[in-house]
Amino acid sequence: DGFPWIALEYAEQGTLSQKLQSATLAPDAAAVLIETLARALEHAHSRQIVHRDLKPANVLFSSSGEPKIGDFGLAKVLYEREESSVDVTRTGEAVGTPRYMAPEQASGAVALIGPRTDVYTLGTLLYECLTGRPPFVSTSVVDTLRMITDTDPLPPRKLERSLPRDLETICLHCLEKSPERRYASAE
């Protein structure tokens, strides 16, 4: 009847957030999940789209258990020239869910937001899958944002000693404060 609408696949197995309420993931399962999400993000990045709000609530599982990334409502469309990026937010305004933001988001450094911003968030998801909590949590949003920009995360093996060292290394590399020090792409 002339009204815009959208139809989406029903993700009947819920969200990663729901799964993490009952238990952490085994290291192998966490690695497979993050690899799948990284490939999905690389697909978006190859089309000049940065998600900017990846979090457990935005990872949905299909009836077959396949993870899907949802909620591209805060996505940023990049072009070859950063000045041409489509960004519906005001300059300097932090966008995203605080505990999953990359340092450049938390500080409002909009010009630094790009694929490596999503790589940081993959690190936060891996950290939470392995330890049961995000890397930075505080009682106030301001303190959480300050921790993200100024504090190194506690290594996951300090919380879960049995974690493989290589998986911890990957996680911490994703969580580097400077985008240039993170993996260059989600691939």
How far is 170 from 155, CA to CA, in rounded Å?
Answer: 11
Q: What are the distances in angstroms from CA 33 to CA 26, 122, 146, 171?
A: 11, 10, 29, 13
How far is 25 from 41, CA to CA, in rounded Å?
Answer: 21
How far is 118 from 78, CA to CA, in rounded Å?
Answer: 13
Tens digits of residue pLDDT in 150-162: 999 999 999 999 9
Place 91 in a pLDDT band, splitting at 50, 70 and 90: very low
Residue 84: is its pLDDT beyond 80?
no
Active site residue 143: no
What the block records as the tokens of 147 is: 């921790």
Tens digits of residue pLDDT in 4-34: 888 888 899 999 999 999 999 999 999 999 9
Choose, from 1, 28, 53, 150, the residue flagged as catalytic: 53
Tens digits of residue pLDDT in 98-131: 899 999 999 999 889 999 999 999 999 999 999 9
Residue 144: is its pLDDT beyond 50?
yes
